[in-house]
Structure 1
Amino acid sequence: MRILMISDTYFPRISGVASSIRSFREGLARLGHDVDLLIPAYGVCTSEGPGVFQAPAMRIPFYPEERLMTPLGALRIARYLASRPHDVIHIETPFMAQFWGRHLARKWQVPAILSYHTHFEAYVGHYYPWIPKAAGHHMIRAIARRQCDAVDTVIVPSVAMAEVVAGYGVGTRIQVIPTGIECPPSPTGCGAAFRARHGIAPKQPLLLYAGRLAPEKNLPFLLEVARRLRLALPDVLLLFAGDGPERPSLEAQTQNLGLTDHVRFLGYLDRDRALQDAYQAADLFVFCSQTETQGMVLLEALAARLPIVAIPALGVADLLAFHKGSRGSTADPDTFSAECLIILRDPELRARLALEAGHLAARFSRDAMSQRLAKVYETLINEAQIAHCRIQERQG
């Protein structure tokens, strides 16, 4: 099969959507399929190899990390893509990608699917506080329903997100396919080297968060957790591996809470090396976002055999429901810090959770999830061919 994926965001803009696209492209390629990708140009060279087409794009006011494909630029590339016949179009985001995906699907008479990655309702209060909450939610649900009903299948990364989308009144069939991850037989990375580089003592209790530093991630919560943990573990250290618009605010809060010796901000770490070292160095991965439709970083932590404490909300709840390699907590810093403390004080429990984590991560391998997505494509293509034949029979 030849698949065309279209997205409004991709690397170097680091996000769960970008990671999902890369994972499925690599997995589908291993299965022998060709996957083209149409994305906005970020003004830097991509190392993604052939099949990635960057449309001229403009910056979005107030969102410096984002780009928006220009209509003329996307049209020029679409004309070239027409010379490479595609069997199915996979829309990854609901903005320009949605428009071009539906346009090309109609023009080429091929099926289109939409991945609904983001729980936009949870973002309204963080990014658009001037919009009344009820009005914002009503608007998002109406737009989502219209966009989902305009495609042949909707892909969501978790059961919880399938329930959310179905609750919008979407009539299109919904398939749950989490994004897969690479699961090595044994963890990569060197924790001792990471601790040495950052001046962290070998036995110093170390908590790690990895991801964007953004309002919807609920990260001040982790500062409150660190404030409580230091009372029981005076040398505890919390690392933020990532960057984003909330970093200045979090750094200021860290100073105001007197946590400068207990919290460090590392910025983005290279996913294949430095981040793997960080996973091996840490004793516990902590995650408090309540807006994740899957929480891929949790799978990465599990694959690194790093135990997790998280709040079981939306897609995170799906993963914690296995009760393997992780512990769930209510959205209360006292309860959350108590769960962390139990694990940090018990080396045998940490070892057992680490073993469970590896086994659970293997269930979400990139190859297995890509095979499931390929079957969805094949079903849609077969259905489209049958429908085309029936139309010809009626016309004949």
Structure 2
Amino acid sequence: MKVALFTDTFLPDVNGVARTLGRWVDYLESHGATCRVFAPQSDGEAGSDYNSLLVERFYSVPFLLYPECKLAIPNPISIKKTLQEFKPDIIHCATPFNLGLYGLHYAKKHKIPVVASYHTHFDQYLQYYKIQWVEGMLWRYLGWFHQTCRKIYVPSRSTLHYLMDRGFSNLEVWSRGVDVARFHPEVDREAVLRKAGANPDKLSLLYVGRLAPEKSVDVLLEAYDQLPEELKSQTELILAGDGPLYKELTESYMDRTDIHFLGFTEGTALTDLYAAADLFVFPSATETFGNVVLEAMASGTTVIGAAAGGVQDTVRHMETGWLCQPGDAGAFAEAIATLLENDTLRSTMAQSGRAYSELQTWDSIFSRLLDSYRQVVPELGELSNHELAAAK
């Protein structure tokens, strides 16, 4: 099987989409498939050196609604030459924008089966950037782009229904997994919190993600300040992430010793933080999945999230975590207070969350996606045994 993937983010970019697509390409290659990835240049530490024989990079510019995501400027001549030599069996468009548009055009022209994956509710970002008037045009374009796709993969059941309500068809859930060997509860809590500049003698609330308007970080900060004074004096808030609000927030809260902005955090420093925190609080209502929620659950930390988007598909209220009305700082404050004051309830939810995460394996998820690819190109189904043998 030969797979051509068009995307606006790929490794070594550090975000959920890039990492998921990177894992998917590695899985395909390990199961006998051959891939070619068309992606923007990366600002990651490893630059564009990630498997340069597999990935073709293009000059790019920041995307207005998500500056960390780049819009590539495709080189049609270069892409056409690569695709003619590669002869893909299937084209996967993980973006509806520049590169994805070229992939769709090539697939139509050469009658190659095309699938797409939907990763971001860009329409929900518009209100935060004061350009709501774009929404109608955006949905008309997205409808046109996806109408000829054999499959449209979405990260969660909520996202599937969200798109169904807007007239999309051929939808299929492609969920997300978590590496429970990497994200686990065992950690030296005191050492981790001291390293983060926090007081290990206090209870710790953790947020991980972009510091951006659409993530509702303001709701988290307001909820924290609404905690009863006695409880708040025993608690600290840690925010790990960068983004357009980072400078503004660090300046606004520079005199607060109980709020810690760590900036971009990754690797062991991040996995240790997840496990060291007493609660993980994630107020974003715009997630199609919310990888950080599943990572926190795998780390044995109870999650408080918004009852919206993909988060509500991962968290079962009062079982594997606590869901609050989106945007309701009072509800988040109440949930935080209740769980911090009830160790038994918090521990029970944490254990249930960890048990749930252990069932979300990448191999089982990718196996189903590979089967779906073969449904799109039935003649490739007969290659499956050969591919599995080759992989061994």
TM-score scaled to structure 1, two decimals?
A: 0.87
State the Cα distance separating 1:321 from its structure 2 match. Answer: 3.4
What's the counterpart of residue 221 of structure 1?
Answer: 219
Stretch deviating more after TM superposition (48-57 or 225-234): 48-57
- Please point out which of 355, 377, 380 is paired with 1:381: 377
Q: Distance in 2 between matches of 1:324 and 1:117?
A: 27
Q: Is 1:299 matched up with 2:298?
A: no
Give RMSD over aligned pairs: 2.5
TM-score scaled to structure 2, two decimals?
A: 0.87
- Please point out which of 354, 357, 360 is paired with 1:358: 354
What's the counterpart of residue 96 of structure 1?
Answer: 98
1:320-360 CA deviation, whole Å, 9 max, x = no partner? Answer: 23753211112322221111122222222232222111111
1:117-136 alignment, distance < 5 Å = 117-127=119-129, 129=130, 131=131, 133=132, 135-136=133-134
Identify unmatched segments of 5+ residues in structure 2. 383-392
Q: Distance in 2 between matches of 1:58 and 1:26?
A: 24
1:64-83 alignment, distance < 5 Å = 65-72=68-75, 75-83=77-85
- Assess if the C-alpha contact under 8 Å between 1:27 and 1:366 holds in 2: no
State the Cα distance separating 1:200 from its structure 2 match. Answer: 2.8
State the Cα distance separating 1:214 from its structure 2 match. Answer: 1.2
Q: Distance in 2 between matches of 1:212 and 1:75?
A: 36
Shift of the 382–190 alpha-carbon distance from structure 1 to 2, 3 Å rule, reads farther
1:170-181 alignment, distance < 5 Å = 170=168, 172-181=169-178
Shift of the 47–194 alpha-carbon distance from structure 1 to 2, 3 Å rule, reads farther
Q: Distance in 2 between matches of 1:181 and 1:126?
A: 30
- Please point out which of 262, 271, 276 is paired with 2:271: 276
AA in 2 matched with 1:303? A
SS at match of 1:229: coil
Stretch deviating more after TM superposition (181-190 or 95-104): 181-190
Shift of the 230–77 alpha-carbon distance from structure 1 to 2, 3 Å rule, reads farther
Q: Distance in 1 between matches of 2:317 and 2:83?
A: 43
Q: Is 1:329 matched up with 2:331?
A: no
- Assess if the C-alpha contact under 8 Å between 1:24 and 1:180 holds in 2: no
Q: Distance in 2 between matches of 1:364 and 1:33?
A: 24
What's the counterpart of residue 392 of structure 1?
Answer: none
State the Cα distance separating 1:253 from its structure 2 match. Answer: 4.0
State the Cα distance separating 1:17 from its structure 2 match. Answer: 1.8
What's the counterpart of residue 49 of structure 1?
Answer: 51
1:192-271 alignment, distance < 5 Å = 192-229=190-227, 231=229, 232-254=231-253, 260-270=256-266
SS at match of 1:82: helix
Q: Distance in 2 between matches of 1:261 and 1:155?
A: 44
Shift of the 346–203 alpha-carbon distance from structure 1 to 2, 3 Å rule, reads farther
AA in 2 matched with 1:343? L
Q: Is 1:184 matched up with 2:187?
A: no
Shift of the 32–384 alpha-carbon distance from structure 1 to 2, 3 Å rule, reads closer
1:175-204 CA deviation, whole Å, 9 max, x = no partner? Answer: 011122222285465433312323433331
Task: Name the count of aligned residue pairs.
Answer: 376
State the Cα distance separating 1:372 from its structure 2 match. Answer: 1.3
- Please point out which of 149, 158, 161 is paired with 2:147: 149
SS at match of 1:324: coil
Shift of the 359–261 alpha-carbon distance from structure 1 to 2, 3 Å rule, reads same
- Assess if the C-alpha contact under 8 Å between 2:212 and 2:244 holds in 1: yes
- Assess if the C-alpha contact under 8 Å between 2:239 and 2:262 holds in 1: yes
SS at match of 1:37: strand
What's the counterpart of residue 365 of structure 2?
Answer: 369
1:195-234 CA deviation, whole Å, 9 max, x = no partner? Answer: 2323433331111111111111010111111112261230
Q: Distance in 2 between matches of 1:22 and 1:292?
A: 20
Q: Percent of aligned positions with the same letter in both sequences?
A: 29
Q: Distance in 2 between matches of 1:287 and 1:385?
A: 41
Shift of the 238–78 alpha-carbon distance from structure 1 to 2, 3 Å rule, reads farther
1:225-254 CA deviation, whole Å, 9 max, x = no partner? Answer: 111226123031111111000112323443
AA in 2 matched with 1:278? L
